[in-house]
Amino acid sequence: MAVDAGSAAAVAGAIPPVMAFALVGALGVGAQWLAWRLRMPAIVLMLAAGLIIGPGLGLFDPARDIGPLMGPMISIAVAIILFEGGMSLNLHTLREAAGGVKRLVFVGAPLGWLTSALALHYVAGLGWASSTVFGGIMIVTGPTVIAPLLRQARLAKRPAQLLQWEAIVNDPIGALAAVLAFEVVLIWAAGGTAMDTVWTMARGIAVASAMGLVAGWLLAEGFRRGRVPEYMKVPVLFAALLLVFALSDHVLHESGLLAVTIMGFYIANAGLPSYAELRRFKEHATILLVSGVFILLAASMSLERLADLGWSTVAFIIVVIGVVRPMTVMVSLAFSDVPMRDRLLVAFTGPRGVVLVAVAGLFSERLVAAGIEDATILTPLAFALVAATVVLHGFSLRPLGRVLGLAGGDMPGVIFAGGSQFATSFAEALRKLDVPVLITDPNRARLRSAREAGVPIYVGDILSHGAESGVDFISFGRLIATSDNDAYNTLVATDLAPEFDRANVFQLKRAKQDHQRHALPATLGGRVICDGLRYLEIAQRMAQDWSVRSTELSVEYDLEQWRLNNPDSIPLAEVVKGKSMRLLDAEAKLRASAGTQIVALSPPRQAGNGGGDATKPKVGAPTKDDSAPPD
């Protein structure tokens, strides 16, 4: 019998469930990695991968290859994604965010729900039931999409903060709006009265809120009091998440989404010492689940459903991008202190993300089961909206920012954690090459040289809550810990490595680092910069009038000539002005070519050479060199 079943499956073209899960994981994570390499929105590649293996080639059909497990899998994945959204809602950080964010949430979300529902009904041709549910989901702009776009566009701090926080806060709100609308639609479809609707909604919200708060409190207290060992915290959190979702969903269908969002919100604001580890868990889990859900839903599309997307879909997308989003933002920010340039940029930037597709796919099946036939088009409509907005804003955000004067340079900036003469000199050299720089230090006195040089500074701890809103992290792609405290440098590099990527985090060499008893594991700290010199060794050189200077290589004055004329200089970075920058750790090899600026810590110029450099070029001359002798 097993052989016959296997043969039948083979004839039908089905693949084993284990292979199906492996395929979904490989394609989802692979698409995200490829998007990172190509600097493209990951959601576009995931959409393409799902459509190719699904309706395109017919290699994978989730309904056929996974079967009845697909529905529960998507439900649990959406619950975990919304839990992650709840854990992103830190009230302390939100209070410090711009006032415009509150307007975009409290005014923009209801207004966006209303205008989206109107566009769905009158332009896309959907009934009021489907329009109301899907209109709630359309509030979401997608933090998983916004963050990469902002890093690529390098916008000014204020509009970037507005877009980022709107996406984070509205992520769970949009899904919950859809949950509420869905429950109302189901009750009305079943012939319930208005009082039945109110009672059922009130009961579901009360139960879900109570379960989320109680579960959050129990977990927070258990973690804080040491009732759960460190290695068990993530598994306990995950198991509790699933249990709360299942129990609440059993009391009122789909109320589990509200319960887990509230649970995540409570944990995010409980002040737990282990919050960083919990946050990384939910980030890793979300990346996997986002990939899986998107591939599954894209592969589930049929050519017939895609063919249903006609000119009404095109008109709907144009109305959403050109009318609904701008009107929602402009009304929300009217009479606020947000400048008009910022309002225009935010108004014409609203990419939708995975939550929109995931929740739409989840409720589409539920609405169809309740007898609302036009809900079958919600999932392909969601895919079309996501693809159009991500592609459009992916190409238009930076040019629009430039036109409005709100976009920075193409170069990712550098943050120096720790004020010193070396940090100031290094930052000045990079700034002359149009690289954004920032020096941070809790001690204002250590930033005096930077202030006098006109280098941007931040007075405060880079690890503090204040830095989350006071430092424009989006504009910076690299960090160098340059303080006189080795332990602090290691702490900064370790804590911010997930934010910047470990390959982009550097620090000065620690004292006694070469001694085995003082050596730290590779998981702590960052890459060593400045040829392995320690803070005191660098400070001694700075006291002897060493400085960080840049030299541009040319065809005549190549890398070998630079090495010959600068035998004592310590290379720190290679910069192609306006294009790229490479910081050099202690083990990096110089590979600069013509047109590249070598930034190096160099000895003082010779006083007897008319202010010239101590290592005047013997052959040729650099095109531009801060250390070159004057004419």
Domains (range + CATH), the chain? 2-403 (1.20.1530.20), 413-609 (3.40.50.720)
125 — pLDDT class (breaks 50, 70, 90): confident
Listing from the earlier edge strand, what are the strands of the sheet with 476-481?
Answer: 457-459, 437-441, 413-417, 476-481, 505-507, 527-528
Mean pLDDT of the 166-178 span: 76
pTM of the model: 0.68
* Cα 213 from Cα 271, distance rounded (Å): 15
Tokens, residue 445: 């006195």
- When mean pLDDT is compared across 79-93, 233-247, 338-352, 580-594, the lowest value belongs to 79-93
What's CA 133's distance to the chain center, in Å?
A: 27
Percent over 90 (pLDDT), the chain:
23
Q: What is the pLDDT of residues 538-547, one digit of tens each?
A: 999 999 999 9
Asked if residues 192 and 152 have their Cβ atoms less than 8 Å apart, the reply is: no
* CA-closest candidate to residue 159, choices 390, 467, 401, 414: 401
Tokens, residue 158: 């204020």
Q: What is the pLDDT of residues 322-345, one digit of tens each?
A: 999 999 999 999 888 888 988 999
Q: What pLDDT sits at residue 617?
A: 44
* Cα 117 from Cα 341, distance rounded (Å): 28
- Residue 514: Cβ within 10 Å count: 10
Asked if residues 542 and 595 have their Cβ atoms less than 8 Å apart, the reply is: no
* Cα 271 from Cα 220, distance rounded (Å): 9
* Cα 177 from Cα 363, distance rounded (Å): 12
Would the pLDDT of 504 be above 80? yes
Would the pLDDT of 222 be above 50? yes
Question: What amino acid is encoded at 320 in this protein?
Answer: V
Average pLDDT, the chain: 81
* CA-closest candidate to residue 185, choices 109, 130, 112: 130
627 — pLDDT class (breaks 50, 70, 90): very low
Mean pLDDT of the 43-58 span: 84
Residue 466 makes CB contacts below 8 A (sequence gap 6+) with: 96, 460
Q: What pLDDT sits at residue 474?
A: 72
Residue 140 makes CB contacts below 8 A (sequence gap 6+) with: 167, 170, 171, 173, 174, 175, 352, 353, 355, 356, 359
Would the pLDDT of 572 be above 70? yes
Mean pLDDT of the 460-472 span: 79
Tokens, residue 74: 């998507």
Would the pLDDT of 6 be above 60? no
* Cα 155 from Cα 349, distance rounded (Å): 12
630 — pLDDT class (breaks 50, 70, 90): very low
191 — pLDDT class (breaks 50, 70, 90): low
